[in-house]
Amino acid sequence: MYAILETGGKQYRAAPEEDLVVEKLEADRGEVVEFDRVALVERNGKVTVGSPWVKNAKVTCRVIDHGKGPKIDVFFFKAKENLKRKKGHRQPFTRLRVEKITVSRSRSKKESSDGA
């Protein structure tokens, strides 16, 4: 079983008990985070594709830690002007452990109106 989820403007493939490295989230270490923007779910060989998102699908993850990626050097140079600038950048990230992927069945309008 796996799912394709979207967070931080990027899409990630998530499977239970796997670790994901995503763009930094505002969540504390050990906190549970749920993603409902799920584009695709594969279960027992059956693939469900959303348009754009799969209804009633959630991916539940636990925050393992936060960190910074490798340093990227940015060098700006203009010829004949003696203009040189060097900067560094480290992209912050959040490491998640996927706990479960759930797709609940939605009740049809006929079933929900029978009880009232």
Q: Which of 75, 72, 77, 66 is nearest to 89 (CA)?
A: 72
pLDDT per residue as tens digits for the range 30-54: 999 999 999 999 999 999 998 999 9
Q: Is 65 exposed, middle or buried (0-12, 13-18, 19+ CB in 10 A)?
A: exposed
In this prediction, residue 105 has a pLDDT band, given cuts at 50, 70 and 90, of confident
Percent of the chain with pLDDT over 90: 85
Instruction: Give the pTM.
Output: 0.78
Other C-beta atoms lying within 10 Å of the C-beta of residue 7: 19
